[in-house]
Chain A
Amino acid sequence: MENSRRRFLKNAGFSILGVGAGSMLIGLSAHTSKAVSPDAGQRPQFSMGDKAMEAERWGMVVDTRKLNDSICRKMQEACHSIHNVPEPVGESAQRDQIIKWIWPTEFQHAFPSQEVEFLAEDAAHRPVVVLCNHCDNPPCVRACPTRATFKRERDGIVMMDFHRCIGCRFCMAACPFGARSFNFRDPRPDIEDENPDFPTRMRGVVEKCNFCAERLAVGKKPACVEASDGALTFGDLNDPDSDVRKLLAEKYAIRRKPNLGTFPSVFYIV
């Protein structure tokens, strides 16, 4: 009795050890065979491509002296049509639910902190075109809980990953420039001519200007710059020889709400 129990326990112990070691060996061999699978040498790769325009910090200079209503409309039309921004008409066009990436406003609204008493009438109402400033210190990025809004460290563009956005609108509360819009309803019915090369958005997602990242990637300047008749200049703010830096070195330019410390990358010559 004593003896057989002892033998049983011994056998059981060895079997457990054997099974454990065996499964470990099987696991190991499966692992190594995976590591030397045939395509290990030629994994798919991503790259920027040769055509892409690159910069350390993209920026824009707006010459407000060259702006008028029709140029502003042209720029907005160019941007909104290629980016599938809905233009609701009729009943659904509620003023507080409009979606805009770039839009004209008046000097006094664009620069509320530029407090000038007795500002000349024509200066106060002069058209100024505004868009996301792609701030160097963007509060919208800090507010976003999902990192759907992020700053591309490579070129300073404040981007949105629409896939990730949960529509909490924290970023809209954080942005002091009102640069962001929210899709209160499905935008598709309000898009007249859908551009098949760019996605639309869905209900419950925030959107804004992306500095035409998709165009820069293929070597094109932003659409609004091309449509601006020379009022807008685009370039690398960190390159002293770029068009924007040359312009800034020559002309007096201001930024919107500089006292807030967001360091906008869009400058205005007044």
Chain B
Amino acid sequence: MSLLELENITASYGHAQALHGVSLSLPAGGAVGILGANGAGKTTTLRAISGMVKTTGRILFEGKDISGLSPDRVARLGIAHVPEGRGSLPQLSVRDNLLVGAYQRRDRKQIAEDIEYCLDLFPNLRERIKSNAAALSGGEQQMLAVARAVMAKPRVMLLDEASLGLAPSTSRRVYEAILRLRREAQLSMIVVEQNAVLAFSVVDHATVLETGKVALTGDKAELMGMDAVRRAYLGG
């Protein structure tokens, strides 16, 4: 059974409909990518899961329909969303950002261990632990956003263009950490990317969105083999 299942989701901002019947399935322990051009609806799909936009259709998490729940309730169920643009808490220190991530947990000792784990995953953050998030570089803010999601001990992580605006080497470091998380933390993931190479470094399946609809879905080999996908997302 799949852990998270989107069935025929539509979503709109006011009168503008951004998703027209998107379906998607995330198996437990799996990782799927969502690829697509600017404005295709990738971010909106993640927002639909997190209850940040009005939707129709069913969103099943562990078999229960979670559509219509508020974003904080969805998060408390175990779905951690690393939003587009990182969404850090700029006036809070790196440590406080991490503690906010652990807000709904009660296991103090384990929280301290998990902070260590995050600092081990992203050594840059260790040096900046007392700085305000606002003082971090873009790459460090992205690392902090991922780490804050990890601190929630989620079952599912939703990652929205973690590479946006980062230097290629920084993007690679972020994605190496994400791959490590997938292996070590038993996280299931939905990875939104415009860069298919980065996405496929973590996911084995992907869905391609075009103007709010599913255009293609397939595994890494299938999609990478298609000329259209290569041209659009691999720069050649």
Q: Do A and B come from one complex?
A: no
Which residues of A are at the interface with B, using a C-beta cutoff of 8 A? none
Which residues of B are at the interface with A, using a C-beta cutoff of 8 A? none
